[in-house]
Structure 1
């Protein structure tokens, strides 16, 4: 084998030197690329941690908001229940007041008749007892048998009884005399 010529050695050395420079350049580029990848990975890890923290904050805020709204809903439902109960109570009072109002209306409609009856009663009281000449004057009180107001006379007297027409009158339905309204 023949030994290489000095030109070939120089060319080979130049080629090796260029190759070495190229390898060094590629190693530097590789190191730079690795640094870039490492920095990008670290950046992604930081961003991932930031996103997780933000997601956690949003989740906690959402849970707090849901809890607050649930509490408000429960309070609103309680308020609705109380208001519905109040409405029922007031409706009951309204029904009672409407009944009393109807009774008062009926009383007012019958007031002329009542006034007339009261004036006749007052006139009868002013007249005093009727003296019977056949009896001694010491006993001036009337018994039920002698009075025009005895139960038997009132029930037989047509002025004091209710006719069938009066009994059918809706104004007298449910009217109870002798009670307070």
Structure 2
């Protein structure tokens, strides 16, 4: 085997230096790339942890908001039921008041008749008990007697039926009774 010439040794040495330099450069680049990959991996891990934490926080907020909304819905439904109950009670009251209104309307329509009836009743009370009367049934001649519905009375005076000016209390009573509203 022949020994390499000094030029070949120089070339081989230069080639080895270049390979060694290139290997050093590649190792540096590899170290930088590994560091970059490691940093990126750590960054991704941190971001993944942050993302998971954000998702957990979002899920907790969502669950909390759902709970709050369910409580509000429950309270709203309860309020609706209370309002429906109040509406039913007020509808009953309206029906009751409507019936009373109709009744009062009927009473107001009947008031003139009631006033007249009360006036006649007050006049009847003012007349007092019957005066002494005798039955005209025993008399065969009813035509000779004044019209008295079968009763005869010599002391009967038609002025007794008219309102008396002598009794102011009865007139005040009549005015009081008929001046009120129903």
Is the shorter-chain TM-score for this pair beyond 0.5, marking a shared fold? Answer: yes
The equivalent residue for 1:24 is: 24
Match runs of 1:1-181 below 5 Å: 1-134=1-134
> How much has 1:108 moved relative to structure 2?
0.4
TM norm structure 1? 0.72
Tell me the alpha carbon deviations over residues 64-93 of structure 1, each in whole angstroms, 9 at most, x when there is no partner: 011001101100100110010011001101
Tell me the alpha carbon deviations over residues 116-142 of structure 1, each in whole angstroms, 9 at most, x when there is no partner: 01101111111122234449xxxxxxx
TM norm structure 2? 0.71
Q: Whose radius of gyration is greater, 1 or 2?
A: 2
Structure 2: gaps of 5 or more residues = 136-148, 150-182
Q: Report the Cα distance in structure 2 between the residues aligned to 1:54 and 1:20, rounded to whole angstroms.
A: 49
CA-atom RMSD, angstroms? 1.7
Tell me the alpha carbon deviations over residues 19-66 of structure 1, each in whole angstroms, 9 at most, x when there is no partner: 111111111111111111000000000011111111111111111011
The aligned length equals 137
Q: Which is bigger in relative contact order (C-alpha 8 A, separation at least 6)?
A: 2
Structure 1: gaps of 5 or more residues = 136-147, 149-181
Structure 1 moving runs of 4+ over 4 Å: none
